[in-house]
Structure 1
Amino acid sequence: MDPTALLLSRLQFAFTISFHIIFPAFTIGLAAWLTVLEAMHLKSGRPVYRTLFEFWLKIFGVAFGMGVVSGVVMGFQFGTNWSVLSRMSGPIQGPLLSYETFTAFMLEAGFFGILMFGRPRVSPWFYLFSTAMVALGTAISAFWIMVNNSWMQVPTGYVLQNGQFVPDDWTQIIFNRVVWVRFPHMLLASYLTGAFCVAATGAWYLLRRCYRAEAHVMLRMGLLLAALMLPIQLFIGHLVGDYVHDYQPAKFAAIEARWHDEEPASEVLIAIPDSSTESNKYAISVPVLGSIIGSMSLSSKEVGLTSFAPKDRPPVLIPFFAFRIMVGCGLLMLALAWLGSWLVLRNRLERSRMLLWGIFLSFPLPWIAILTGWYTAEVGRQPWTIYGVLRTADSGTPFLTASAALTSLILFVVVYAVIFSFGTYYIYRLMRAGPEGLAEGPSLMPAPNRPMSLADPVRVARTYDKAGQ
C-alpha cells in the first residue's frame, strides 16, 4: 500500500471513530438515565421526574440519530481502506458485528419507536420496560464492539488457515478476560458521561436562576452517581493497565516513557519523551513507584522500549500524554463529584457559584477522557492492527491511491462537520429552552421556578383557545 495512502487512511479512521464515539458514549449513559427517571416517576408520582424525562428524551433522540449516521461509514472503511484486514479477520470480525445486529440493534430498533412515540399507546409499565430495553440495547452494542476490538488487542481462539484468521474457540474470543475489564471500563465511562452532562446542565440552570426544581434533581442524581462510580472506574482502569502490562509490554513501556529496563522501576509523572535520543527531557519521576504500579512489587524489573526492535515499538508521545490527560480528567471529575455531592447533601451547593461554574464547565471532561483513553489504546497498539500477528502497514487496500484517500478524508471531514454543527446547535437550543412546564399536561401558568417570559401570555391564550374548542 502506498505510504501516503496508508497515512491518510489512518487519519480518516482516527477522525471518524473519534467523531462517532462521542455519541454512543453519550446515548448509553443517557438511556440509562431515562430508565431511572421513568422508574422513579412510576414509583413516586413526582411530576419533576416526568418533566425531566420528556426533556432529556428529545436530546437523546437527536444524539441517537447522530450516532447512527456517523457510525454507518465505519463499516464501509473496512472494505474501502482496509480490505486486507477485512479479508484476513472477516471470519471472526464478521460474526461479531452480526451478533451486534441480531442482539443490540434488534432491541434498539424494536423498542426505540415505543420510547419516542408510544407513551399514549402502551401501559406505563410496558413503557418503562421499553425504555430499559433501549438502554440494554445500547450497552449490548458496546459489548460486541469491545469484544471485537479486544480480540484485535489480544487475539485468542483462532487458527490461521489459507491466510485467514479462523475462529477455533469462540469462548476464548468472547469470554477473554481482557474483554471483561475493557467492557466495564467503557460502560462506566459512558455512564459517567451521562452523569456529568446531566449535572452540568443542572448547574447551568442554577447559574441562570431558572428551572430550580429540575436543576436540583439533575445535580443531586448526576453528582451522587458520579461520586459512586468514579472510584470503581479508577480501579477497573488499573485492571486494564494490568492486561496491557501482561500482554502488550511495548505499549506499557510507551505509556510510561520507559526507555530502558529498570529494576526497581521509577514512575515518570511528566516529561517530554525524545525518541531520537531514547530519553526523557525535564522528567519528574518517583522512584520504585513504577514497579508498584506495574507488578505490585517493590523490586520488580520493568521492561523498557529498547528491549524491542525499533520497528516493533509504538510511538511514545501520543500514548504518554494521552494517558496522563485521561487520568487527570478522571481525578478532576472525582474531586468535583465528591465536593459537589458533599454540598448537595448539606443543601449548600446553590450558594457555591464557583463550584457550580466548575461543574458546568466540566461537561467535556468525560469525552476528553474517553478520547484520550482510546488514543492510548489504539496508538499504543501500533505498529500492529491485530497485535503481534498483522501489521497496520500490511492491512490496507493494496491499490488505494493517495488522491482517493485524501478525497474521502476531506469529504468525511466536511460532512461530519456539517452534521456535528447542526446537531450540536439543535441540542443547545433544546437545553436552552429547558424543561417547559409539567409533562402531565399543559399548565395555564408559567412554571413556578421559571421566570415569566414574553411568550407566556401567548401560550396561555392558546391554551384557553384549545380548551374552548
Structure 2
Amino acid sequence: MTLDPFILARIQFAANISFHILFPAITMGLAWLLMYFRIRYTLSRNQVWEQAYYFWVKIFALSFAMGIVSGVTMSFQFGTNWPGFMERAGNIAGPLLGYEVLTAFFLEASFLGIMLFGKNRVSNRLHLVSTFLVAFGTTLSAFWILSLNSWMQTPTGYTIEEGEFMVKSWWEIIFNPSFPYRFTHMMIASLLTSAFLVAGISAWRILKGAAGPDTWRAMKTGIAMAALLAPIQILVGDLHGLNTLQHQPAKIAAMEAVWGTERGAPLVLFGWPDEERRETRWAVQIPKGASLILTHELDGEILGLNEFEGAHPPVAIVFWAFRVMVIIGILMLIIAWWSVWALRGGRRPSQLLLRSLSWMTFSGWIGVLAGWYVTEIGRQPWIVQDLMTTAEVVADHSAATLTGTLFGYLLLYLFLLISYIGALRYLSAKPAPAAIPRHAPPAIQTDLRGG
C-alpha cells in the first residue's frame, strides 16, 4: 500500500522544517551569549572570557552553516510541493521572505567572517560591533520568518481579489495578533536551548577532564540564563495560550482534548485521545483545571472539538506534543534552579548535577520541536487559518516521486545530524587551555571556578 501523495508531501515538509529549526534554535540564542562573552572580555580584559568566546564561536559557525543548507532546501519546497501557496499568497509571503534575506541573512553572513577570523586583524571594538550585528541579524531573521508564520495563523491586513491575497496594510500583516506572543516565545525558547547546550557541553567537558577556567564560566552563564528565562517562558506561554484560545480555538481544543463545549472543563494531565469514540481514554484529570488555566476562570467556557467537525487538527499528536513541551519546560526550570542552588557560594558541583546538565544538553531541541508541532499541526487543515486549506495548494506529484525524495531527505538529514553531533563531541573533547585534570584536587577546581 502507498500513502496518499498529500500526506507524503506534508511528511516531507515536516521532515525538512524539523531538521532546519534545530539550528536557528541554537544560533539565535548562542549569538547573544557570544555577545555577552565579548562584552565581559572587553570590560575586564580577562582572557578566560575570550577563550569562552572562541570555543563557542566555532559551534555557532557550524550551526549557522547547517541552518543555511537546510533553510535553502526548505524554501525550495514552497515551489516544489506547495506551489498553490505562493500563487495565492505570494504577494504577502514573497516580500516577507525577501526582507528576511536582504535585512537579516546578508547582515549575518557579512560579519560572521570577522567574528571567526578577525581576532588579530581588526580592533576589539570592531570585533565587538561585528558580534552584535550578527546577533541582531539572527533576531531580525526570526522577526520576518515568524511574522509570516504568525500571519498564516492569524491573518489580518489583507484583501482577496480573484482568489489572490493582496496587501491592505503591511503594519497589520507584520504585527498580526499572534506575532508578539509567538516571536517572544520563540526567542526565549532559543535562548533556553542555547543556555542548556552551553551548560550541558560544559558539564560534559568537566566530567571528561577537558575543562578549563572558561568552561566553568560558560557553564555558570548558561545556568544563570536558564534559571532567569525558564519562569519567564512559562508566563509568556500562558499569554500565548490565551491569544491562541481567542484566535484558534480548535488548536486549544486539540491540545487539551476537549471534545464537547463546556464550562469548568477539566485539565487532562495524561490520557489517550480517541478520535473515533470522541473521548479521551484513561484520562487523569484536574477538575476545572483547563478552564482556570486558559480563561483564568473556574467556570470559563472552552469550545470543544465537536464544534469544528471536519476542520480540526489530528488530536493525539497535538495533545502529546503539547505535553512533551510542558514537561521539558518544567525539567528546565527544576534543573536550572537546582544548579543555581548547588553552585551558590562557589560550591563544587556533584557528579549527579554535572550528569544531569549533560543529559539536558539537547533538551531545548525536544522542547522546540514539540512546540513547533503544536503550532503547525494544530493549524491543520488550514495553511492560512480559516481561509486556505493545505489540500488546496499541494502539488500534483506521484506517491512514488514523493516517497523517493522523502527517503533521500531522511537519510541525508540523519547523516548530517550524526555528523553535527560528532563534530560537537570532537570539539568538546579537546583539552581547553589550562585544562583541569580529571582528578584535580578540590582546591584547584574551586580556584579555577572563581578565577
TM range (shorter): over 0.9
Q: Is the 8 A contact 1:349 1:356 kept in 2?
A: no
Residue 449, structure 1, aligned to residue 448, structure 2: no
Question: Which residue number corresponds to residue 344 of structure 2?
Answer: 345
Unaligned runs of 5+ in 2: 440-451
Question: Which residue number corresponds to residue 39 of structure 2?
Answer: 39
Question: What is the CA–CA distance in structure 2 between the aligned matches of 1:346 and 1:367, rounded to whole Å?
Answer: 31
Query: Given the two structures, how large is their TM-score scaled by the length of structure 2?
Result: 0.94
Question: Which residue number corresponds to residue 459 of structure 1?
Answer: none
Bigger radius of gyration, 1 or 2? 1
Can you list the C-alpha shifts for 1:428-456, whole angstroms capped at 9, x where unaligned?
21111143x2xxxxxxxxx263469xxxx
Question: What is the CA–CA distance in structure 1 between the aligned matches of 2:436 and 2:249, rounded to whole Å?
Answer: 56
Can you list the C-alpha shifts for 1:295-316, whole angstroms capped at 9, x where unaligned?
111222211111222x112111
Question: Which residue number corresponds to residue 410 of structure 1?
Answer: 407
Q: Is the 8 A contact 1:62 1:427 kept in 2?
A: no
Question: Which residue number corresponds to residue 327 of structure 2?
Answer: 328
Residue 159 and residue 329 in structure 1: after superposition, are their counterparts in 2 closer, same or farther (change >3 A)?
same
Fraction of identical pairs, as percent: 41
SS at match of 1:346: helix
Residue 247, structure 1, aligned to residue 247, structure 2: yes
SS at match of 1:382: coil
- Greater CA deviation, 91-100 or 209-218? 209-218
Q: Is the 8 A contact 2:209 2:435 kept in 1?
A: no
Question: What is the CA–CA distance in structure 1 between the aligned matches of 2:25 and 2:219, rounded to whole Å?
Answer: 20
Aligned residue identity for 1:339: W
State the shift of 1:220 in Å: 1.2
Question: Which residue number corresponds to residue 308 of structure 1?
Answer: 308
Aligned residue identity for 1:418: F
Aligned residue identity for 1:336: I
Aligned residue identity for 1:353: Q
Residue 265, structure 1, aligned to residue 258, structure 2: no
Question: Which residue number corresponds to residue 429 of structure 1?
Answer: 426
Q: Is the 8 A contact 1:196 1:366 kept in 2?
A: yes
Q: Is the 8 A contact 2:210 2:428 kept in 1?
A: no
Question: What is the CA–CA distance in structure 2 between the aligned matches of 1:151 and 1:126, rounded to whole Å?
Answer: 37
SS at match of 1:431: helix
Question: Which residue number corresponds to residue 157 of structure 1?
Answer: 157
Aligned-pair Cα RMSD in Å: 1.5
State the shift of 1:423 in Å: 2.6
**Matched ranges for 1:10-409 at <5 A:** 10-309=10-309, 311-350=310-349, 352-397=350-395, 399-409=396-406
Question: Which residue number corresponds to residue 445 of structure 2?
Answer: none
- Greater CA deviation, 53-62 or 416-425? 416-425
State the shift of 1:346 in Å: 2.8
Question: What is the CA–CA distance in structure 2 between the aligned matches of 1:448 and 1:430, rounded to whole Å?
Answer: 14
Question: What is the CA–CA distance in structure 2 between the aligned matches of 1:259 and 1:268, rounded to whole Å?
Answer: 12
State the shift of 1:72 in Å: 0.7
Query: Given the two structures, how large is their TM-score scaled by the length of structure 1?
Result: 0.91
Aligned residue identity for 1:224: A
Question: Which residue number corresponds to residue 444 of structure 2?
Answer: none
Question: What is the CA–CA distance in structure 2 between the aligned matches of 1:367 and 1:448, rounded to whole Å?
Answer: 29
Question: What is the CA–CA distance in structure 1 between the aligned matches of 2:269 and 2:405, rounded to whole Å?
Answer: 39
Aligned residue identity for 2:129: F
State the shift of 1:378 in Å: 0.8
Unaligned runs of 5+ in 1: 438-446, 453-469
Question: What is the CA–CA distance in structure 1 between the aligned matches of 2:223 and 2:158, rounded to whole Å?
Answer: 44
Can you list the C-alpha shifts for 1:160-216, whole angstroms capped at 9, x where unaligned?
112111111111111123111100110111111111111112211222234242232
- Greater CA deviation, 62-71 or 425-434? 425-434
Question: What is the CA–CA distance in structure 2 between the aligned matches of 1:149 and 1:216, rounded to whole Å?
Answer: 38
State the shift of 1:135 in Å: 0.7
Q: Is the 8 A contact 2:210 2:430 kept in 1?
A: no
Q: Is the 8 A contact 1:55 1:434 kept in 2?
A: no
SS at match of 1:119: coil
Question: What is the CA–CA distance in structure 1 between the aligned matches of 2:163 and 2:238, rounded to whole Å?
Answer: 36
Aligned residue identity for 1:61: A
Can you list the C-alpha shifts for 1:341-366, whole angstroms capped at 9, x where unaligned?
1122232242x211211111011211
